[in-house]
Chains A and B, each alone.
Chain A
């Protein structure tokens, strides 16, 4: 390990490198198949699919953020949808301001919903959102600050386990109710929508959609690398230590609440970025994104993919959301039951998720192979040796 240890965190992550290769490939290929391949070709990817895939990539980034705290630090946040939604609202506010006087009421300063409510001036908290850089800063800061305040209060009072999960649910629920209020100034239950363009580019143009898709892919890759760097550092091992034996970690001299706070804020910011990329691709953000069910769904993605691996979260998010797209189209009434079933099955039978199943299967196959190779000589001592060797090569 000491040799080139500066990059060992990346080089040793075999599965992660594969995942990054796949994400890179689809990030590059899908735009080509959309823009360069003629629409009547078999290989053409319709723009509708580009945005859908872009949405999955945002969800994958969100799942990554949740796995970072849940898989590595044992913080089961059932409120991460809130950070995602806040990032989304920050982006949505920028997009609203971009509409300018092209709204239905043609008011150059006020978004339509404010005109409709007879507001005379822009609320102070909307100031600055016409500036893209400021809005992007808010995408990080708003979720980050909420996470910091929330984490500071809860981790310091040592709220853990189910209690913490319940409070996170309450947090997102409270935010949902607040954002539903018209007087909050975020568009009430309609939320923010009817976006026109982003940085001057038409949001309905194929090129813009493809660009957003590519950005989502890039964000996912950067997010993955960042998370992998964090969990491979000594800080990552402190997180695992907190997850497995919190009080032991304290007695070794680590200030558990600081570590939790760091990783919780980082995770909230990643979720915020995911939300900010999601909103322009789906064209709307409303308080429904805060609904407690959404946050629970994220947990299911991570559980299905395999917790505490990072790449498992990405795989889980994409698989479950593809399933959701398919089933809500084909059999809309069964999807929720399937989702619940999926959660029960994955927690009861697949503690390591889909990734765990694949790993076990590979390991068994390798063992069988190794066994076959030694059986002709039928040497009893050879068996244990070769099977451990097989385990090593498989892992």
Chain B
């Protein structure tokens, strides 16, 4: 909804010189990169490279010690908190799948459905026919139609990942941050996930963090390599896979 009516920004996401230190340890060290509207971007890098911390900064969980983070050119994300940022149109899937286990699949999606997040609105909220249709559409998209009324806690790891992607989509964000979506998925599920993310991109910007090279290959998009909190290399998967430094710190091991 948002994407179509708002003007198209130059950069969907603009990260410049971001440094985050935890007790002197620099998890992010002068990190800079941009994401264009509609772009699909993969981010790889060894454990502890700062990939999740980068998402924490963008979504307002961690405030950077230095640097700028802008959304849609003008919105300074460092000035907003998590709830604000989510409502501005940035959705996030966590590394560890976090769906609300004691709610049903349907209820999880209802919760994430774009709309007013106010307390009193929620108290008297009833679903409109359009909203119901939208939830059903997403349930079908993530292949959980048969299990819609089951508790999300009963899902397999891969299915939880899908439900969480569904929750992301139904928020109708302009920018999706997806942290290790393929973890715990079967090969078939992994391939399906890559296909889904490619479909989503174009209309929205998507940033995917992943270790699974098959998956990255299937995404078929520009790759950014992170190492020790900064960008080590950027390019196509082929280019970064043949980069000496990347082989040394990441792929070669």
A and B: bona fide binding partners: yes
Q: Is B253's CB within 8 Å of the partner chain A?
A: no
Q: Is A82 an interface residue (CB 8 A)?
A: no
Judge whether A240 and B100 touch: CB under 8 Å.
yes
Q: Does B155 reach chain A (CB closer than 8 Å)? A: no
Which of B61, B94, B117 is packed against the most chain A CB atoms within 10 Å? B117
Number of residues in A with C-beta < 8 Å to the partner? 25
Question: How many whole Å from A218's CB to the nearest CB in chain B?
Answer: 23
Tell me whether B102 and A252 are in contact (CB under 8 A): no
Structural contact, A251 and B132, CB atoms closer than 8 A: no
A235 contacts B123, C-beta separation under 8 Å: yes
Judging by beta carbons under 8 Å apart, are B125 and A234 in contact?
Answer: yes
User: Is the pair A234, B122 in contact by a Cβ cutoff of 8 Å?
Assistant: yes
CB pair A252 B122 closer than 8 Å: no
A256 lies within 8 A of chain B by Cβ: yes
B101 within 8 A of A: yes
> Do the beta carbons of A235 and B119 come within 8 Å of each other?
yes
Whether the pair B100, A251 counts as a contact (CB closer than 8 A) is no
CB of A285 within 8 Å of the partner chain? no
Cβ of A132 under 8 Å from chain B: no
Q: Would you call A241 and B100 a contact (CB within 8 A)? A: yes
The answer for the CA separation of A255 and B81 in the assembled complex, in Å, is 9
B103, B110, B132: the one within 8 Å of A240 (CB): B103
Contact A248 B98 (CB under 8 A): yes
Q: Are A252 and B123 in contact (CB under 8 A)?
A: no
Give chain A residues whose Cβ lies under 8 Å from the Cβ of B61.
247, 251
The 8 Å CB contact of A252, one of B86, B101, B107, B127, is B86
Interface size class, chain B = 20 to 34
Inter-chain contact A255/B100, CB cutoff 8 Å: no
B171 at the interface (CB under 8 A from A): yes
Question: Using a CB-CB cutoff of 8 Å, which residues 96-152 of chain B contact chain A?
Answer: 98-103, 107, 110-112, 117-119, 122-127, 132
Contact present for B100 and A250 (CB under 8 Å): no
Q: Does A365 contact B (CB under 8 A)?
A: no
Q: Taking the complex as formed, is A237 at the interface, i.e. its CB lies under 8 A from any CB of chain B?
A: yes
Q: Give the distance in Å from the alpha carbon of A2 to the alpha carbon of B126 in the complex.
A: 9
B83 touches A233 (CB 8 A): no
Taken together as a complex, chains A and B put the C-alpha atoms of A238 and B119 apart, in Å, by 9
Give chain A residues whose Cβ lies under 8 Å from the Cβ of B110.
234, 237
B100:A253 contact, CB within 8 angstroms? no
Q: A235 → chain B, closest Cβ, in Å?
A: 4
Q: A244-B102, A245-B98, A262-B119 are in contact. Are A253 and B125 (CB under 8 A)?
A: no
| Per-position binary interface string of chain B over residues 80-101, scored 1 when its CB falls under 8 Å from any chain A CB and 0 otherwise | 0111001100011010001111
Compute how far the CA of A5 lies from the CA of B83 in the bound complex, rounded to whole angstroms.
Answer: 29
Which residues from chain A contact B103 at a C-beta distance below 8 Å? 237, 240-241, 244
**Do B119 and A251 touch (CB < 8 A)?**
no
- A253 & B117 in contact (Cβ 8 Å cutoff): yes
Residues of B within 8 A of A248 (CB): 94, 98, 100
Complex CA distance for A234 and B124, rounded to whole angstroms = 8
For A5, the chain B residues whose CB sits under 8 A away are: 126
A104 → B minimal CB distance (Å): 49
* CB contact between B171 and one of A6, A238, A252 (< 8 Å): that residue: A252
A258 at interface by CB-CB < 8 Å? yes
Taken together as a complex, chains A and B put the C-alpha atoms of A43 and B132 apart, in Å, by 55
- Which of B83, B102, B171: most chain A CB closer than 10 A? B83
Whether, in the assembled complex, A259 has its beta carbon less than 8 Å from a beta carbon of chain B, the answer is: yes
Q: What are the residues of chain B within 8 A of A175 when measuring CB–CB?
A: none
- Say whether B59 faces chain A, with CB atoms less than 8 Å apart: yes
Residues in A lying within 8 Å of B, measured CB to CB: 2, 5-6, 230, 233-235, 237-238, 240-241, 244-245, 247-248, 250-256, 258-259, 262
B residues near A, CB below 8 A? Answer: 59, 61, 81-83, 86-87, 91-92, 94, 98-103, 107, 110-112, 117-119, 122-127, 132, 167, 171
Subset of 18 A-B contacts with CB under 8 Å? A2-B132, A5-B126, A230-B123, A233-B123, A234-B110, A234-B122, A235-B123, A237-B107, A240-B102, A245-B99, A247-B61, A248-B98, A251-B61, A251-B82, A251-B91, A251-B92, A255-B117, A258-B118
